[in-house]
Amino acid sequence: MLLTKQLQDIKTLQQDVERYDEINLKLNWEMLETRPQNETNDYFYYEDQELVAFLGIYRFGNKAEICGMVRPSKRRNGYAGMLLNEALMQLKSSGIQTVLLNIPSNSTSGHRFAKNQPVTYSFSEHQMKWNPHIRSETGRDDVVIKEAQAEDLEYIIQMDAEGFGMSEKEARTMYSPGAEKGHYIVYANNVRAGKLRVIVDDKASWIYGFVVTTSMQGKGIGQAVLVRLIQQEAAKGQDVLLEVALENAHALKLYTSVGFEQFSTQDYYTFSE
């Protein structure tokens, strides 16, 4: 678990870097604030008690994402490469099979760094935010979302395997007992029809892992779920955000139809073995 000072140092550096580069870094704060004690996931470089460089590992089963940052005045000194090498050694020793480097699409320094790494471009994701001035109807009155219970964990795992093109074994590695917290189960006409997860971060509620089971797609369930969830979170004063892969045209159309608008894009590069 990270210390309070470490978290504050990360936040301060993030704000400085984002302001200077006019970018949005994806540092997965819900994971930074709940780091397990038995893993090394975060790498720091300090000078004169000031955080100069930071790199975080974010594990998802047998895959991992890496995102880092260096204070603008301290760049081109090898700090990013040093932290990256430490992180890659750690991931290799822990058996992680796929490692992705995450860089904001409009980060000039980030892409310059990537060109000198053994990586190939993999995919990009839009980060989208709901516009409260755009209203949409649910379309279906029989669709409801309920907080997941412990007995729903197996269903959540099955939906991840079905919706994200992975084996059930791989999906299972992302969960431990109690991991259903924050998930919702989708019901249509009293039948389970999918799942999603909501992560609350300050004034923002992020939607992740949204899946409508294949046999029930194309029936307006996805739109109804999103509208109900937007209403639920907006009533709490929350912004509602999500991420979607650029090549997922169907999902992009669905999200824009209920009022989501792109505000940032993240690029992902895969490290060669």
Measure the CA–CA gap between 2 and 232, rounded to whole angstroms.
31
Helix 249-257 × helix 221-234 angle, to 10°:
50
Residue 271 within any structural domain of the chain: no
246 and 140 together in one domain: yes
Q: Are residues 69 and 144 located together in one domain of the fold?
A: no
**pLDDT, average across residues 237-256:** 94
Of 96, 117, 138, the last residue of a domain is: 117
Angle at 264 between CA 262 and CA 265, to 5 degrees: 105
pTM value?
A: 0.89
Segment 40-51 shows an average pLDDT of 97
Cβ-based neighbour number of residue 4 at 10 Å: 8
Instruction: Evaluate if residue 146 carries a pLDDT over 90.
Output: yes
What domain count does the chain have?
2
Q: Is 145 within the bounds of a domain?
A: yes
pLDDT tens track for 94-117: 889 899 999 999 999 999 999 999
Pairing outcome for strands 191-201 and 98-104:
unpaired
9/87 same-domain check: yes
What's 177's domain CATH number? Answer: 3.40.630.30
Range of the domain at 157: 130-265
Q: Are residues 215 and 92 in the same domain?
A: no
| Residue 272 domain flag | no
pLDDT tens per residue across span 177-208: 888 889 999 999 999 999 999 999 888 999 99
Final residue belonging to a domain, choices 88, 117, 146 = 117
pLDDT digits 0-9 by tens, 203-238 = 899 999 999 999 999 999 999 999 999 999 999 999
- Indicate the average pLDDT of the chain: 94
Question: Is pLDDT at 138 greater than 80 in this prediction?
Answer: no
Residue 122 lies in a domain: no
Residues 196 and 224 placed together within one structural domain of the fold = yes
pLDDT of residue 177: 83
Q: Which of 67, 96, 117 is the last residue of a domain?
A: 117
- Identify the helix (H) or strand (E) that includes residue 250: helix 249-257
H helix runs in 119-185, sequence order: 153-163, 168-172
Which residue's entry shows tokens 């949005």? 24
Helix (H) or strand (E) holding 35: none
Count CB atoms within 10 A of the CB of residue 22: 10
